[in-house]
Chain A
Amino acid sequence: MIRKLSSTLFLAYFFALIHSRDLVAEEEKINLSSAEHFEKQIAPLIKEKCSRCHSHAAKKSKNGLMLDSRDSMLKGGDSGPAIIPGDPDKSLLIQAIRYTGELQMPPEGKLSKRDIKLLEDWIQAGAVAPASRFEGQASSAIDPGKLWSFQSVKNVAVPKIHSNWPRTAIDHFILKKLKQEKLAWVEDAKPSVLCRRIYIDLVGLPPTLKQQDEFISAYSENPQKAIDQTVTKLLQTNQFGERWARHWLDTARYAESNGNNRNRVLRYAWRYRNWVIDSLNADLPYDQFLKAQIAGDLLPYQNRKQRNRQRIATGFLAVGSKPYYPTIVPFDPNEPDRARFDWAAEQIDATFKGMMGLTVGCARCHDHKSDPIPTKDYYALMGIFRSTNPKFGMYWDLFGVDEGQAQRDFLFDFNLLVLNDEILPVIKPLQDQYKPLVIEQNRINLRKRHWPQQVERMQKKLKDNKNLSEQQVTQIQAHIETRLKKLAEDKERLKVVLKLKKQLQDSFNYAVDHAMGVEDSPNPSDVHIRLAGEHAKKSDLVKRGFLTKIEFKDESSLINQKQSGRLELAHWIAHPKNPLTARVAVNRIWHHLFGRGIVESLDNFGVAGELPTHPELLDHLSYKFIHDFNWSQKKMIRYLMTSRVYQLSSSENLTTKNHLDRDPDAKLYWRRNPRRLEAEALRDSMLAVSGLLDPRRPVGSPVVDFEYYADIRHTDRQRAFDLLKGNYRTIYVPTLRGHRNKLYELFNYPDDEAVNSARSSGSVPTQALYLLNNPLIMNFAKNLAERLINQQPDDPAQRVLQLYRLCYNRLPVEQELKEDLKFIEKQSQIGNEMQAWSLLSHSFLISGEFLYRF
């Protein structure tokens, strides 16, 4: 590690030298009266030095003085106003901190000159600050005892209601609220509608004709049993995982390129994706599902296979979008460390938003404005993740190395997990010999690129010889000589380097199985708080730990100091007593089945998030999830889908004025809302009805074949799609950050740079153009038409019936059949029969009844 770092620094400086970037970072001229200046400079200072005795946060106002708002400073304490804006000399606060008079503050010691000047200048510029409290309304002011989501999950008694409407306990909770609001519920959905809803929701594909028949006949015998059986059956299929993994991948901000300021492919992200699919299909209990993703590398295992599965699961922490350093000129030697902090911050954000619905990221710079999360807690977590090495396929800190060269040299250690690590003892020494050669070759190349020009310039200088002193001339000559000598040496050395590399390559005959993921760093340690999130501003050292305002005491959560602490964090997050984890999880499952969460803000259960529409129901489900279902997601899904409220109709023929007045959007579930198919379900359904779907899983990912060192270009999105070679399910189409597949781009694929569990589904004209004109859609329509013609060669009416069944899960009414046959007749006369059927098929694929589930 140390060796790596030092070589890194050397390289960095070397690079800086070669480019002669003699730019000097200078402090920006600051607007002293800006809110930003106050937040960044003044507030942290006052907080650090004064709040202990003069703030609401500390519940102290010595001598009647509060210093946590502009108003309170103007008002002052027993001795009068603390500040007089524009006049530092007359401001008591300044007199006190200058230690010149009687009043000397803070009592424990005089502030530094810089700090005094900061405060003087700030008052001089008008003492701009929020009028009301700027400090103290955060963590300590918010009573964690009052935030609903921080309360432990209760085993709520099921409301007793005398009605034969409910089919499950869920329905009792729903009915109770509907009765309270005096809202009548609508009828159940028609079986054909319900059948399509179940299939799309569970497997993201419409039911086949045979599946439709089976459902309808079973439903006519016993509706509840038919639903239960169908759901249970579908939960056993691989298609279930391929559908539901995508929901988690949204949460996990999954993508196959880095995005950010170096958009390189993440060649092995696909292993993590497949792990999510497989875990869902195997119904890995949700607590274990989470633990593996946080600390799979530290969990016990029974065999090698399990060990590797768990290591792959830590890909969750590695697939995020990372900034590439250095980003500023000149190169700042603090950057590698700051980069590590930024990567850790990204992992903290994903972990807490993704698993507990908390935006802890705010606390990096200041105590959380609304949630009970102090900055100290944030840096306790930072210590854990800073002690974690993400292995994401690049040495970001090998600045200046020709990455293309490194890539072609397959012997390079790619900063990835090696799954078959039994070969490490064999390949590691080879790699260790190899890496310096790559770096050396690169240095030689850099010199070759830049030095001849420099020599030329120096020679010109000598030739022009404008007032050069003798000494200067000698110096320049010496420079020229050394450089020419080195360049000549380089020429010889390069031959040797290339030969050595070739020898190593020839001796290398091992297949390395790579994966993304994390591992503990060799020296886990605590980190210092950084004031206002600024890396250079170190404050107190914080012991690694978790969120202090969420406490459940029944086992020690002492962190093993020899490890990062992820293992203990994983146990803490997935603990049955953690009040947030289960709630966040069941709320998302509810969202995916009902179109809206009980808590609408899926990833924010803090003060700024939405309140639950049915808090008791949420607790009922969460409790059941942990205790009755043992964290089984499949059981939870089945439980929700067999409720009556899941089965309600979405049509509005029973809508009354009362409904529209009280609950027009049916947030209390008196009816359902239609929902558009997500990008994946949309394409998969089109592939399915047109008979083109290849249900197999492709091997790996097409991006494995990409040059890993090249920035993603716009054309790569099509390249990735084409390289996939086959009509596989859409979850296998690579998603490249910033250059997503057009289908994703248009149909509301979520932002993949951060956790985003909910997708939007707005209709925009560019979607319409895609659906109308894109060759892919045209091809689906054509194939669907061919399918109809082949299956029903002689009977146009039968073709129309089949089209309705395939696309809408129903038969046409007489009028519809007549119109469509007339359409075919007319269009066949204009063009040919095949074209007519293509047009008609196309019209089905882009109609509301296909694009939505009802």
Chain B
Amino acid sequence: MNKSQKLNSRRSVLKGVASGLGALAFQVMLTKEALSQNGTNKNPLAPRDAHHKAKAQRIIFLNMEGGPSAQETFNPKPGRSLFKFKKHGENGLPVSECLPHLATQVDKLCMMNGMYSDSAEHINASIQLHCGKSLSSRPSMGSWVTYGLGSENEDLPGFIILNPSTVGAGSKLFGNAFLPGIFAGTAIGRNLELSDAKNSALDKSSQRILLDRAQERTRKKSLLHSHNGQLDALINSFELGFRMQSVLPDLLNISNEPKHILDSYGVGKRPTDDFGRQCLAARRMSEAGVRFIELVHKSWDHHSEIGRLLPDRCREIDQPIAALLKDLAQRGLLEDTLVLWGGEFGRTASAHHKGGGSGHNNKGYTMWMAGGGVKPGFSYGQTDGDGWEAIEGKIHTHDLHATLLHLLGLDHTQLTYRYSGRDFRLTDVHGQVVKDILA
């Protein structure tokens, strides 16, 4: 085979993996890059070069679902906040009394106090936070990132989400939409178990025997269809699945971690056990090279009971997240891991509600980042005196996405996918990289 033949057949293989609209759907940069880098590469998840030098190799997104209050966590409003704040760290960033552990890590955080987005309704807002645009089927940011960069580990999916919501937008939040299925988020329940990774009736060796029997026949059949490539892709998907079912559960099995690590995350203790396990699993996945990790922590939708509920939620995440940041830093992982914290929106100050509750607020709220390429111990943007509206350093969700992609070495205007006759991007036609927060 000459080179062009090889390319042609390779192209078919890749299309086989992702075909649908066939050639049309799977052209674009993915094929080009995979081909130019490595003509024999069959794996669509193979790592790909970024557009420019990356500051971060992966993202851990700590999704506080329901909309945590900025005024009660990181952006105090005198006369409006219910809880007390103290300044912490070298730069004196304020942290609520509800988050004593995180207060010790504040020098690692880059606070974004001027976040805003388009919707004050949970599902619309969650979809926008994940997919850029509300109420339409678009790929999740994790899918875009894996599409753009591939996976660092050939035995693992590039995009894993722990404990996704069981109501609301459902799998849309981690779906690949029109991107090839290989870029869909792999959902793992709160018990940290991968579905269908265990077979109650077959042990590992029987499984292998079964698989070998099937693969052998498929391989024979594939000899007559090698240019088309679909059968080769099928064989590969089985091998990857087989490896994944051992590797991923091992990775998620935190019981082998030393006691001091387990203790530091608050594993085995109420109320930190649940999220502690997830944070620890996230660290292990970062080490293993998973590109995009999302952890979901629920129930931040505190209306009239914010005074009672917010401290409870904080207690569940405070120690685990602090431990995660420390642990990542100690292992040198924080340098190229970007941690993102926040929810789909924030809340109005309690005083805004006559009934003494705290409503949804998409006009001004706080998220923070840490690690890979952002200014540590830095505070950017501000809301007005009530925390009602962002007034300076405003960052729209589109800008956040543009910045995340930028830190990963991707230009948000170049990361496109042609579908249904036009090019799509995570940021649609919007988005500005927030240069002021880059280290």
- 8 A Cβ contacts from A802-843 to B: 816, 823, 827, 830-831, 839-840, 842-843
Let me know if A848 is at the binding interface, CB within 8 A.
yes
> A827 — which chain B residues lie within 8 A by C-beta?
209
How far apart are the CA atoms of A740 and B389 in the complex, in Å? Answer: 38
Let me know if A770 is at the binding interface, CB within 8 A.
yes
Nearest CB in chain B to that of A819: its residue: B216
Known contacts A665-B12, A760-B25; A714/B421 CB under 8 A? no
Q: Which listed residue, A714, A740, A830, touches B166 by the CB 8 Å rule?
A: A714
Let me know if A713 is at the binding interface, CB within 8 A.
yes
> A711 — which chain B residues lie within 8 A by C-beta?
167-168
Let me know if A626 is at the binding interface, CB within 8 A.
no
Nearest CB in chain B to that of A830: its residue: B206
Interface string of B9-40 (1 = CB under 8 A from A): 10110011111111111000000000000000
The smallest C-beta distance from A223 to any residue of chain B, in angstroms, reads 21
Q: Which listed residue, A328, A359, A676, A761, touches B119 by the CB 8 Å rule?
A: A328
> A28 — which chain B residues lie within 8 A by C-beta?
116, 363
Let me know if B102 is at the binding interface, CB within 8 A.
no
Known contacts A711-B168, A761-B20; A770/B230 CB under 8 A? no
Let me know if A23 is at the binding interface, CB within 8 A.
yes
- 8 A Cβ contacts from A443-477 to B: 450, 453-454, 457
Q: Which listed residue, B120, B217, B230, touches A328 by the CB 8 Å rule?
A: B120
Q: Which listed segment binds A: B49-57, B69-77, B354-362? A: B354-362
> A660 — which chain B residues lie within 8 A by C-beta?
5, 8-9, 227
Q: Which listed segment binds B: A133-141, A232-240, A534-542, A603-611? A: A603-611
Q: Cβ of A772 and Cβ of B213 under 8 Å apart?
A: no
Interface string of A235-264 (1 = CB under 8 A from B): 000000000000000000000000011010
Known contacts A713-B167, A768-B241; A762/B123 CB under 8 A? no
Let me know if B136 is at the binding interface, CB within 8 A.
yes
Known contacts A768-B237, A849-B221; A761/B196 CB under 8 A? no
The smallest C-beta distance from A844 to any residue of chain B, in angstroms, reads 7
Q: Which listed residue, A329, A665, A751, A840, touches B359 by the CB 8 Å rule?
A: A329
Let me know if A168 is at the binding interface, CB within 8 A.
no
> A657 — which chain B residues lie within 8 A by C-beta?
5
Q: Cβ of A764 and Cβ of B184 under 8 Å apart?
A: yes
Q: Which listed residue, A603, A715, A839, touches B420 by the CB 8 Å rule?
A: A603
Let me know if A35 is at the binding interface, CB within 8 A.
yes
Interface string of B400-437 (1 = CB under 8 A from A): 00000000000000000000111000000110000000
Q: Which listed residue, B8, B18, B227, touches A652 by the CB 8 Å rule?
A: B227
Q: Find the residue from A23, A737, A778 having the highest chain B CB count within 10 A.
A: A23
Nearest CB in chain A to that of B430: its residue: A36
Q: Cβ of A751 and Cβ of B137 under 8 Å apart?
A: yes
Nearest CB in chain B to that of A838: its residue: B201
Q: Cβ of B225 and Cβ of A652 under 8 Å apart?
A: yes
Interface string of A390-423 (1 = CB under 8 A from B): 0000000000000000000000000000000000
Q: Which listed residue, B166, B180, B221, B353, touches A713 by the CB 8 Å rule?
A: B166
Q: Cβ of B19 and Cβ of A609 under 8 Å apart?
A: no
How far apart are the CA atoms of A26 and B348 in the complex, in Å? Answer: 14
Interface string of B58-84 (1 = CB under 8 A from A): 000000000000000000000000000
- 8 A Cβ contacts from A734-760 to B: 737-740, 742, 745, 748, 751, 753-754, 758-760
Q: Which listed residue, B120, B157, B206, touches A765 by the CB 8 Å rule?
A: B157
Interface residues on B, range: 35 or more
- 8 A Cβ contacts from A526-557 to B: none
Q: Cβ of A839 and Cβ of B234 under 8 Å apart?
A: no
Q: Cβ of B233 and Cβ of A738 under 8 Å apart?
A: no
Let me know if A60 is at the binding interface, CB within 8 A.
no
Q: Which listed residue, B16, B17, B124, touches A261 by the CB 8 Å rule?
A: B124
Q: Cβ of A762 and Cβ of B20 under 8 Å apart?
A: yes
Known contacts A762-B17, A773-B198, A839-B209; A600/B221 CB under 8 A? no
How far apart are the CA atoms of A765 and B234 in the complex, in Å? Answer: 9
Q: Which listed segment binds B: A14-22, A177-185, A271-279, A561-569? A: A14-22
Q: Cβ of A769 and Cβ of B245 under 8 Å apart?
A: yes
Q: Cβ of B171 and Cβ of A664 under 8 Å apart?
A: no
Interface string of B184-218 (1 = CB under 8 A from A): 10100000001111111110001101110111011
Q: Cβ of A848 and Cβ of B227 under 8 Å apart?
A: no
Let me know if B135 is at the binding interface, CB within 8 A.
yes
Known contacts A29-B394, A665-B15; A847/B218 CB under 8 A? yes
Could you count the A-B residue pairs with CB atoms below 8 Å apart for me: how many are there?
A: 260
Let me know if A126 is at the binding interface, CB within 8 A.
no
Q: Find the residue from A667, A840, A842 having the highest chain B CB count within 10 A.
A: A842
Q: Cβ of B196 and Cβ of A852 under 8 Å apart?
A: no
Nearest CB in chain B to that of A755: its residue: B420
Let me know if B153 is at the binding interface, CB within 8 A.
no
Q: Which listed residue, B5, B201, B222, B234, touches A661 by the CB 8 Å rule?
A: B5
The smallest C-beta distance from A843 to any residue of chain B, in angstroms, reads 4
Q: Cβ of B230 and Cβ of A852 under 8 Å apart?
A: yes
Let me know if A6 is at the binding interface, CB within 8 A.
no
Let me know if A712 is at the binding interface, CB within 8 A.
yes
Interface string of B335-354 (1 = CB under 8 A from A): 00000000000001000111
How far apart are the CA atoms of A595 and B230 in the complex, in Å? Answer: 13
> A21 — which chain B residues lie within 8 A by C-beta?
353, 359
How far apart are the CA atoms of A762 and B4 in the complex, in Å? Answer: 24
> B422 — which chain A residues lie within 8 A by C-beta?
608
Q: Which listed residue, B167, B238, B389, B391, touches A768 by the CB 8 Å rule?
A: B238
Let me know if A601 is at the binding interface, CB within 8 A.
yes
How far apart are the CA atoms of A839 and B213 in the complex, in Å? Answer: 9
Let me know if A323 is at the binding interface, CB within 8 A.
yes
Nearest CB in chain A to that of B418: its residue: A608
Q: Which listed residue, A610, A712, A771, A839, touches B167 by the CB 8 Å rule?
A: A712
Q: Cβ of B233 and Cβ of A775 under 8 Å apart?
A: no
Nearest CB in chain B to that of A777: its residue: B196
The smallest C-beta distance from B260 to any residue of chain A, in angstroms, reads 34
- 8 A Cβ contacts from A17-73 to B: 19-23, 26, 28-29, 34-36, 39
Known contacts A603-B420, A664-B12, A847-B214; A651/B224 CB under 8 A? yes
Q: Find the residue from B4, B23, B241, B355 having the highest chain A CB count within 10 A.
A: B241
Q: Cβ of B237 and Cβ of A714 under 8 Å apart?
A: no
How far apart are the CA atoms of A751 and B122 in the complex, in Å? Answer: 21
Let me know if A650 is at the binding interface, CB within 8 A.
yes
How far apart are the CA atoms of A768 and B178 in the complex, in Å? Answer: 21
Nearest CB in chain A to that of B173: its residue: A738
How far apart are the CA atoms of A823 and B227 in the complex, in Å? Answer: 31
Let me know if B240 is at the binding interface, CB within 8 A.
yes
The smallest C-beta distance from A848 to any residue of chain B, in angstroms, reads 4
Let me know if B181 is at the binding interface, CB within 8 A.
yes
Q: Cβ of A762 and Cβ of B227 under 8 Å apart?
A: no
> B22 — which chain A residues lie within 8 A by C-beta?
595-596, 600, 665
Q: Which listed residue, A23, A323, A676, A816, touches B348 by the CB 8 Å rule?
A: A23
The smallest C-beta distance from A532 to any residue of chain B, in angstroms, reads 13
How far apart are the CA atoms of A770 and B241 in the complex, in Å? Answer: 9
> B178 — which chain A residues lie within 8 A by C-beta?
751
Q: Cβ of B241 and Cβ of A761 under 8 Å apart?
A: no
> B206 — which chain A residues lie within 8 A by C-beta?
830-831, 839
- 8 A Cβ contacts from B218-274 to A: 218, 221-222, 224-228, 230-231, 233-238, 240-242, 244-245
Residue positions of A touching B, CB distance < 8 A = 19-23, 26, 28-29, 34-36, 39, 260-261, 263, 323, 327-329, 359, 370, 450, 453-454, 457, 595-596, 600-601, 603-604, 606-610, 650-653, 655, 657, 660-661, 664-665, 667, 673-674, 676, 711-715, 737-740, 742, 745, 748, 751, 753-754, 758-775, 778, 816, 823, 827, 830-831, 839-840, 842-844, 846-849, 851-852, 854
The 5 nearest A-B residue pairs measured at CB: A760-B20, A738-B170, A608-B421, A768-B241, A714-B166
**A260-B135, A713-B167, A770-B196 are known contacts; what are 17 more A-B pairs with Cβ within 8 Å?**
A22-B352, A28-B363, A36-B429, A327-B120, A600-B21, A651-B225, A664-B227, A667-B23, A674-B230, A753-B136, A761-B20, A763-B237, A765-B241, A772-B242, A839-B209, A847-B215, A848-B218
